[in-house]
Structure 1
Amino acid sequence: MGLVAFVDILFFFYLKLFGERGKMYAAVLLFVFVCWTATAHGDHHQPCRSPNMTGLASVMGTRAETRANGAFAYDSMNKKLRFQSNVTLPFNASLDLDLLVFFEEGVLYKIDSKNQSCEKKSLQNRKHPFALPTDATFVSTMTSGSASIEGEGLKFQIWTTPTPGFKSQTIMCTTMGCLPLSTFHVTESSMLMFSNMNVELDIKDPDLLLVPPFCQGLHAEETPEGTVYGFFDEFL
């Protein structure tokens, strides 16, 4: 699939799903992809697994406002994540979050270290922007920058993760080594863009992935009937 075909599909999808609002979402994605050179392959691709990671992440919202900036540690084997916003990066963000997530167990802790308090929530939706889900579908291989000049391009892959009923859509870009670069999460009323930076392939501080003493023994809050709660909801 070439770049033009891919953009056409995005426009069609968002217009059909969101009506006129979809033009804005598709335009954002077009802006992101417009300078990228498509180098699509017809081979069958299986979703890969991200390595252990420590890095920085930035989250932008529908109106290009910064929702969160911060540091993260991700254990890919045990599917554990710690995300702490408003630390390390010198940017103001609208959300001040400290999240510890056990995706395998379907549990999210919302931590307030200052007040030594915690909220424990159950995850019905376990998708997140730090690893490809097993049901991801390969779209294309592309190169950001130049594919013909050595050292002037970054080859990456694009994957999609549709949700039954088209209530939301996730588009993820990963390096050829399966490092997540950017993730777009689109719902009927909003869009989030996650960008990962300065990633290192290990967990610098394993203690970050342990439940703090003041969070232990809590019962998970009940999710209102008819709603599906997931990691992305903390940023909407």
Structure 2
Amino acid sequence: MYAAFTLVVFICLTASTHADHHQPCHAPNMTGFMSVVSIKGEVKAFGAFTYDSIGKKLRFRSNESYPHNASIGLDVLMLFDEGIFYEIDSKNQSCEKKALRCIQHPLDIPDDATFMTTVNAGSSSIEGEGLKISAWTGSMADKKGTYFMAVTMECLPVGTFYVYESSSFLFSLTEVDIEIKDPDLLVVPPICLGQPLEETLEGTVHSFLNEFM
């Protein structure tokens, strides 16, 4: 986790922008684990994710048994195309339906991202001991922050670093498979069906990223 943090920060500080012919790629369907760590080293969340790149859906469930006492217990289903998401509490059989105001998330490169550089992590001369990654950057949708994203040549995200004035976070991925192992995780749970859309307070921006701030 912290190795990924160091890698992303190094890329952010040393990379220079290359030619504009590089176009952002888009990640495939994925299943894996995601950790969220603040710049101060606090583990905000750790858990399993399932991502449907075609249907634009993301399920993330934090693991309360994670040994580092992650501060956020979270189960969310993001439906990006529909502009809504659900906060799910299976233990208490409750669910909240909210408007999704920002669709940025750490599993896909935004279309307006700027290519920075391509680097080899580890060794490029020893088989199986290196990873070639590309780095991308851009502004947040609200223009109040900047992101730096590292992905493999097959467009699998390695880590995304979000920088705000008040806080900064690293999202890193591990044990990624390019398939949806359990499609039911991306179906709206029965306890959420029929839930009314909650009113959004003025000035509130709901997004996947805001769940960790």
Name the residue aligned to 2:58. Answer: 81
Name the residue aligned to 1:207. Answer: 184
Amino acid at match of 2:116: V
In the superposition, relative to structure 1, how do residues 32 and 161 fare at CA in structure 2: closer, same or farther (>3 Å)? Answer: closer
State the 1:47 CA deviation.
Answer: 1.0
Name the residue aligned to 1:151. Answer: 128
1:51-66 matched pairs, under 5 angstroms: 51-66=28-43
Encode CA deviations 1:151-192: one digit per residue, 9 max, x unaligned: 321100111121367411111110000001101112220011
Runs of 4+ residues deviating >3 angstroms: 28-32, 36-43, 87-91, 163-166
Partner of 1:33: helix, strand, or coil? helix
Task: Calculate the TM-score normalised by the size of structure 1.
Answer: 0.80
Name the residue aligned to 1:16. Answer: none
Name the residue aligned to 1:172. Answer: 149
Bigger relative contact order, structure 1 or 2, given CA contacts below 8 A and separation 6+? Answer: 2
RMSD, aligned α-carbons: 2.5
In the superposition, relative to structure 1, how do residues 218 and 164 fare at CA in structure 2: closer, same or farther (>3 Å)? Answer: closer
* Aligned length, in residue pairs: 208
Unmatched 5+ residue regions in structure 1?
1-27
Name the residue aligned to 2:103. Answer: 126
C-alpha distance in 2 between matches for 1:204 and 1:159: 28
State the 1:222 CA deviation.
Answer: 2.1
Larger radius of gyration: 1
Amino acid at match of 1:219: P
Segment of structure 1 superposing worse, 169-178 or 157-166? 157-166
Segment of structure 1 superposing worse, 218-227 or 61-70? 218-227
C-alpha distance in 1 between matches for 2:142 and 2:59: 30
Report the structure, 1 or 2, having the larger helix content. Answer: 1
Amino acid at match of 2:192: C
Does the CA-based 8 Å contact 1:52-1:203 persist in structure 2?
Answer: yes
Unmatched 5+ residue regions in structure 2?
none
% identical equivalent positions: 55
Encode CA deviations 1:174-231: one digit per residue, 9 max, x unaligned: 0000001101112220011000000001011000001111101112222221332211
In the superposition, relative to structure 1, how do residues 180 and 88 fare at CA in structure 2: closer, same or farther (>3 Å)? Answer: farther
